[in-house]
Chains A and B, each alone.
Chain A
Amino acid sequence: MTGALLTISGLTKAYPGVVANDDVSFDIREGEVHALLGENGAGKSTLVKMIYGLVRPDSGEMQLRGAPFAPAEPRAARAAGVAMVFQHFSLFDAMSVAENIALGMEKPPRLRDLAHRIREVSETYGLPLDPYRTVGGLSAGERQRVEIIRCLLQDPRLLIMDEPTSVLTPQEVDILFQTLRKLTAEGVAILYISHKLEEIRALCDRATILRHGRNVGTCVPSQTTARAMAEMMVGASFAAPARAPHATGAVALDVTGLSMPAPDAFGTALRNIHLQLHEGEILGVGGVAGNGQDELLAALSGERRSTGDAIRLRGRPIGRLGPNARRDLGLLTAPEERLGHAAAPEMSLTENVLLTAARRQNLVSHGFLRWPAARRFAGQVITAFDVRTPGPETAARALSGGNLQKFVIGREVLQQPGILIVNQPTWGVDAAAAAAIRQALLDLAANGTAILCISQDLDELIEISDRFAALNEGRLSEAHATRDLSLEEIGLMMGGAHGMEVAHA
């Protein structure tokens, strides 16, 4: 390991009402994988945006290989050798891989030469990719490879990766790590942002931890426990969810042969799904994003109707019933997308409880709204789930992602559902809040609720689910007892490496 590639000293950036970064200093060495850790809102994204030239710091300075570095825009950062792979891909579905990459270039070469270079880079780093394939048909892992190759074509000295593994199967994660190690062997530094602490322990050489915008310490992950790192992030110790052993009961929800066409061109069709959900159990459904998670939730919630017999609730066919009829029968759902799906952004929390709780909580009589009762219920959710907000009259969009997630889950949990379907219940939520949400789900199951938990966070599913099944291209695997499964087997259930195994052969 050689000297410092990027030195950051005293970076400060304040937004109205919040100091996103407060006097942050650390350095990134050549050829190291440096993790950036912190809860949501700790200031990680502001920091990398400053490095990538998207945001200008209020004070402080950076040095790249000893020279002052103050990129005014991403183009300047890229010219200096800084590249970034964003969490959300910016690719056009209807164009080919090479066309997409050409779009991001200052002076794109001829498409044939570019395709040649893409092949070269992809072979060198073990990222197989056909430059002429249309992006719309690529899996999430393949799309990420497009973004990585786009960066590698610039010969970066520093590669920033924002939560790169959230869309990958364990096997794909292994392949990515091999690629990253090849890069570091050539002296490229990688700034790696992730919530997955075990992953960071396996991959990263050092980690810098941010809390409330401040650097609260640097550690060597391989010599630290995941728990210790989590507590550094939160600044306090918190209880890991506890599972009370309990028996599971009768079949609450029975899905047999559920098939549905894709809702739109880039959606996923559900293919012959079978599942049985028992009272008091948590069935975890894993899978890489875009393999039918949203579609499965919509089919179970009643947003999309199927044939009556495909879904039975305690023996009663409900496939043709709408969301409210299913709620009346005790089936509640919490979708993944908080703003615009689970909650209306411009509406207050009080108005938002009406979305799912209007009938079950008696918030309506003869069609007229009982505002005081709605306000009371919103208040209950806020208290019970520790939602940080000025009050129930706050607009949903004014809440941070984690707080809104607590509200959305709490709204369903407090209604005492017989069956609860959740999709990504702790997505983007900090460690302490995630633990609280998981505990709430476990407690609910202990009281006999049947819970189907769709998630892309395998650690979460391993932690809370009794049985595990995986969605892959709209098909659901058979469910197995989670404790009998190895990570390897889980990965294979999720579709393995989607034909990437040869990459590092």
Chain B
Amino acid sequence: MLKLEKRPQPSRAWTYLTPVLAVVVTMLAGGALFAMLGNDPVEAIRTIFWEPLFGEFASYYRPQLLVKAGPLILIAIGLSLGFRAGIWNIGAEGQYIIGAITGAAVGLAFYPVDLWVIFPLMILAGALGGWVWAMIPGLLKVRFGTNEILVSLMLVYVAEQLLAKMALGLLRNPEGRGFPGSRNLQQYPAAHNAEIITGTGMHWGVVAAFIAVIFAYVLLSRHILGHQIQLAGQAPRAARFAGVNPARLTLICLGLSGALAGMAGMFEVSGPAGQISIDFNVGYGFTAIIVAFLGRLHPVGIALAGLLMALTYIGGEIAELNLSLPAAAIQMFQGMLLFFLLAVDVLTNYRVRLRTAEVA
């Protein structure tokens, strides 16, 4: 008989091992899933994890890794701060969209002026847009006690409507012959978030993501605010006793995660995506939730998890193309990752004991 026994302290070793174990178990279960769909499981797993890095067309896929990981990491870092404090911003996708709209709008407003200050202004505008969008659930929670999970999630759909409206109306390319979508910012040098080193996929958003990782690491391990964030999440009553103002913390955490998500949106629209279009958002804001948890809500873990998630995205696309695996199977594969992570998480706080069944 298996028996779970609570550990006196969370195991440090398992804290680091569980994500690895979750990846391995996901590979096994995912392989079984692909086998049931009639594919060679080994080939499918190899395609997802190996092909983008070392395959024949790796030189094309490798830059994509940073392009996809950048926004995931940037958003997940912001979310992780809130998650640690027990503040659940599920609407990063919406904040990402709004950041893209405000960032692009500032850039387009200057078109075709060429000034160095335009791009920094766009970054600010993007962060501000995401921040404002996150302040809506924040203020409603602080003022009226609404649930931030619901409000932030619903605002994603509002943001999507707003995005469509912008792509078709206010921000539509006046020279676009009536097609929906804004001007392409890639063709506007002052506003273009170009690759910093050609061929690496490294754009300013990736730089921002890694700065955010370092910032979050220092905040959580060295700063009193980081301590308060963790305290509020683990023991809310103790946090109030320690003088933490829950309303202030809610606004800080939601604000930070909103601003980072907004920035990610801005970097995306001015770089890899290029323009505001109806289908601009591809779910980074939601995937970042998985990234945050896969990374143990730890900044370095999130950086690694973001890269891993980007890998499965790219590898998944290759598998769709080469092995004609259905897109849904790839999404399920990614979902399994979070599922197994949460499941094996038990090992951090409990130890499994094998016991011979007792005679009742």
Contact = CB atoms under 8 A, between A and B. Distances in A.
Contacts of B10: 346, 395
Contact of B238 (A72, A301, A343, A395): A343
A347 B10 CA distance: 10
B158 interface: no
B224 A368 contact: yes
B227 A345 contact: no
Contact of B234 (A324, A335, A345): A345
A325 B242 CA distance: 11
A245 interface: no
A354 interface: yes
Contacts, number: 78
Interface string B241-259: 1110100000000000000
A119 B39 CA distance: 73
Contacts of A72: 360
Contacts of B222: 368-369, 371
A394 interface: yes
Contacts of A333: 241
Given A324-B243, A358-B224, A346 B238 contact: no
Given A369-B227, A397-B8, A340 B238 contact: yes
B230 interface: yes
A327 B241 CA distance: 11
A347 B223 contact: no
A492 to B, nearest CB: 33
Nearest to B237: A341
Interface string A343-377: 11111000100111010000010011101000000
Nearest to A341: B237
A217 to B, nearest CB: 31
A398 B9 contact: yes
B227 A341 contact: no
B234 A347 contact: yes
For chain A, the bracket of interface size reads 35 or more
B224 A364 contact: yes
A4 to B, nearest CB: 27
Interface in B233-288: 234-235, 237-243, 245
A341 B227 CA distance: 16
B235 A56 contact: no
A184 B241 CA distance: 47
A292 B230 CA distance: 30
A327 B234 contact: no
B223 A355 contact: no
Contacts of A347: 230-231, 234-235
B11 to A, nearest CB: 11
A16 B224 contact: no
B5 interface: yes
B225 interface: yes
Interface string A57-93: 0000000000000001000000000000000000000
B234 A323 contact: no
A322 interface: yes
Contact of B241 (A56, A303, A351, A368): A303
B358 interface: yes
Contacts of B5: 16
A69 to B, nearest CB: 16
Nearest to B349: A346
Nearest to A346: B234
Contacts of B223: 367-369
A369 B223 CA distance: 5
Contacts of B234: 344-347
A16 B8 CA distance: 11
A61 to B, nearest CB: 15
Interface in A1-27: 16
Interface string A395-411: 10110000000000000
A19 B234 CA distance: 31
A323 B242 CA distance: 7
Closest 10 CB pairs of A and B: A324-B243, A355-B242, A344-B235, A323-B243, A398-B8, A395-B9, A341-B237, A344-B238, A340-B235, A344-B234
Interface of A: 16, 56, 72, 301-303, 322-325, 327, 333, 335, 337, 339-347, 351, 354-356, 358, 364, 367-369, 371, 394-395, 397-398
Given A301-B241, A343-B235, A347-B230, 18 more contacts: A16-B5, A323-B240, A323-B241, A344-B231, A344-B239, A345-B234, A347-B231, A354-B227, A355-B231, A358-B224, A364-B224, A367-B225, A368-B222, A369-B222, A394-B9, A395-B10, A397-B9, A398-B8
18 contacts: A322-B245, A323-B242, A325-B243, A340-B237, A341-B235, A341-B238, A341-B241, A342-B238, A343-B238, A344-B235, A345-B234, A346-B10, A346-B234, A355-B238, A356-B241, A364-B224, A368-B222, A371-B222
